[in-house]
């Protein structure tokens, strides 16, 4: 029974390669985006530099944090950070936790 399953899997392998070859062959190269850093600085644990871009429809300003460890890009929306950060330094200001 095991040898039959292996033979079936190997028999279908060239088809899988063909499908992957067509998928990879259809990829279009994208130009790199070059943007200037934002004049704003973020973070309560240090100064984080972001880049400001306009995204969406209607367009909205978003600050992006480039990630050098992976392909992810983090965006901070208009409500992502509160203006009053006193609660970050003083745990006693919380009366309840949810």
CA distance 32 to 76: 21
d(CA 38, CA 92): 34
Query: Among candidates 70, 80, 66, 81, which has minimal Cα distance to 35?
Result: 66
pTM of the model: 0.38
pLDDT tens profile 26-66: 666 667 767 778 887 777 777 777 888 887 778 877 777 77
| Sequential DSSP letters for 38-83 | PS-EE-SSS-EE-EEEEETTTTEEEEEEE-SSSS-EEEE-TTSS-S
pLDDT of 87 > 50? The answer is no
């Amino acid at each position: 029974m095991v040898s039959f399953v292996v033979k079936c899997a190997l028999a279908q392998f060239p088809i899988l390669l063909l499908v992957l070859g067509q998928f990879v062959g259809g990829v279009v190269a994208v130009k790199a985006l070059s943007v200037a850093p934002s004049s704003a600085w973020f973070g309560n644990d240090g100064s984080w530099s972001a880049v400001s871009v306009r995204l969406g429809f209607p367009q909205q300003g978003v600050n992006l944090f480039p990630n050098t460890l992976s392909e992810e890009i983090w965006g901070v929306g208009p409500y992502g950070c509160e203006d009053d950060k006193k609660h970050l330094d003083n745990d006693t200001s919380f009366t309840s936790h949810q």
